[in-house]
Amino acid sequence: MPKILVADPIGAEGVQLLKTRADVDVKTGMTPPELLAVISEYDGLVVRSETKVTKEVIETAKKLQVVGRAGIGVDNIDLDAATSAGIAVVNAPTGNTVAAAEHTMALMLALSRNVPLAHQSLKSGEWKRSAFMGVEVRNKTLGICGLGRVGSEVARRAQSFEMRLLGYDPFVSPDYASRMGIELVSLEELLAQVDFITLHTPLTDGTRHMISCEQVAMLKPGARLVNVARGELVDEQAILDGLKSGQLGGVALDVFAQEPPQNTELVGHPKVVVTPHLGASTEEAQREVAIEASEQVLAVLNGEPARNTVNAPFVAPEVHAVLAPYVPVATVVGKLLTHLAEGQFLGITISYEGEIAEHDTRSLQAAVLAGLMEPITTGQVNLINAPVLARERGLNITEQHNTSAPEYSSIVSATIETSEGKITLAGTSLRNEPHIVKIDDYWLDIVPTTPYMLFVDNQDQPGSIGAVGMIAGAHNINISFMEVGRLALRGRAMMVIGLDDPVPSDVMAEIQGLGHIFNVRLAHLGSL
């Protein structure tokens, strides 16, 4: 049973789910040295934002297969180190979407109507109606930076308030934005027009301080800013200066560059509304993100693809349903190629035909490369780090897509080029199991269910199959299946034999010595 460490507080429902399929330790509030001292014991790690999963942690965690983030942001996890180590990083991007969107709207409304100041004034015994004149959000322009899940949900709610919507997101199509009722513009255009601006982008090198002195100066005087995403998206000194000058009419912050916040002048400013990182703090959100993260951690530990692997290509649910059956196909194609190819690897061409060619096939490319690299690489190789390992080895990777596949609904094929020549394998999925259907020009139908497979390039003539079978039987090597593909009657043929037992080198030499054998190769598939 795998062992999982829960290092930050998560919903009890998530912990209970983990305990159904794993040995779980809940140890929250650990210092970095304490985490380093125990992490080598665990196959899985679940965190929120408090625990820092550093390169040192990754390098120490020799058994670790997956890090689950109960939430969306993963800036507390060293993704490069995890990827190089073949550790999947999964998150829970949907569980707190509504909570974050609702909190954004709450802060925007509190800001527009001076709710915190009015609340505090009345609590202290004052009655100053005229001191807290607000503005309506109706007919105001809202600029939404980042049109992912949370930004899109904010847009839906803002429409009900009859706000005009502008959006900035370089990775969203104008058509998508238009369907959401959003006019897609540049950041500069957005800043110049908005009455309110909300931030919903991840923290990257490109988005850090995306709102700084320069951007504040571009705003309409009196514009109001709301940030429920990441504290470092804004330059806190720049927005404080903007408040002092009147360029900013108000700011609402749920997140800060340092938490708890260190800029007491900003926090205490009368035109600033603050909350202590409450964007995901609803009972519903905590339950959902805990369950979502836990489900994916268990999936990875069970050898299944996770929905939201951060350091692997994202696959939408509807696309996942199409591609998932072809991941084991691609893996076995890659693994067989490694055993069949002779000479120095130069490059690989991976081709996708049929329905799968219509989708993002990076997950299938990773599967082919994982199969290719696993037999020749020391250490863990999987869908996460296989592309990295291939690039490190200088392997030239080419992809081809063809939506037509006359023989099958979809086919994955790969051609490996070596110093000795080329070899091609193609496979498909039938009844949710991988089938190898072509080797070079030979059409066959092989279900790779045995630990060993013998590939015999031979002359098609009477007695050729029997001769190989006799040698196997004489050495107590059990044959599970046999398939033959040929190019012409009594011409060249490919014999593929599934074996339960290994074939010693002397037996290989005996088969090779038969007069009608051109070449014989053994593949050890292990567990597929």
DSSP-assigned beta bridge partners for residue 428? 435
Return the half-sphere exposure (C-beta side, CA atoms, 13 A cut-off) of residue 313: 18
Pick the catalytic residue: 69, 164, 230, 486?
A: 230
C-alpha 299/C-alpha 289 separation (Å) is: 15
156 annotated active-site:
no
Q: Which of 291, 528, 519 is nearest to 423 (CA)?
A: 519
For 260, phi and psi rounded to 5 degrees?
-60, 155
* Largest Cα span, the chain: 106
Asked if 463 and 457 count as a contact pair (C-beta separation under 8 A), the reply is no
Q: Are strands 223-227 and 248-253 parallel, antiparallel or unpaired?
A: parallel
User: Cα–Cα distances in Å, from 186 out to 173, 192, 214, 215, 381?
Assistant: 13, 10, 15, 12, 41
3-state secondary structure of 177: helix
Cβ neighbourhood burial of 309 (10 Å; 0-12, 13-18, 19+):
buried
For residue 73, give both structure tokens.
Answer: 């942001």
C-alpha 180/C-alpha 182 separation (Å) is: 5
Q: Are strands 410-418 and 421-430 parallel, antiparallel or unpaired?
A: antiparallel
277 annotated active-site:
yes
283 annotated active-site:
no
C-alpha 461/C-alpha 190 separation (Å) is: 76
Q: Calculate the CA 310 to chain-centre distance.
A: 3
Q: Are strands 88-91 and 66-69 parallel, antiparallel or unpaired?
A: parallel
Q: Calculate the CA 322 to chain-centre distance.
A: 17
What's the sign of the alpha-carbon dihedral 105, 107, 112, 114? Answer: positive
For residue 98, give both structure tokens.
Answer: 């509504």
Pick the catalytic residue: 277, 307, 435, 486?
A: 277
Cβ neighbourhood burial of 267 (10 Å; 0-12, 13-18, 19+):
middle
Asked if 431 and 470 count as a contact pair (C-beta separation under 8 A), the reply is no
Task: State the distance between the two ends of the chain, measured CA to CA, in whole angstroms.
Answer: 20
Q: Are strands 141-145 and 164-168 parallel, antiparallel or unpaired?
A: parallel
Instruction: Give one DSSP letter per residue of 316-338, joined into a string.
Output: -HHHHHHHTTHHHHHHHHHHHHH
C-alpha 371/C-alpha 353 separation (Å) is: 19
Asked if 418 and 344 count as a contact pair (C-beta separation under 8 A), the reply is yes
Pick the catalytic residue: 34, 50, 136, 259?
A: 259
Return the half-sphere exposure (C-beta side, CA atoms, 13 A cut-off) of residue 312: 31
Q: Which of 323, 317, 399, 398 is nearest to 364 (CA)?
A: 323
Degrees to nearest 5, angle at CA 151 with 150 and 155: 115
**Positions marked catalytic:** 230, 259, 277
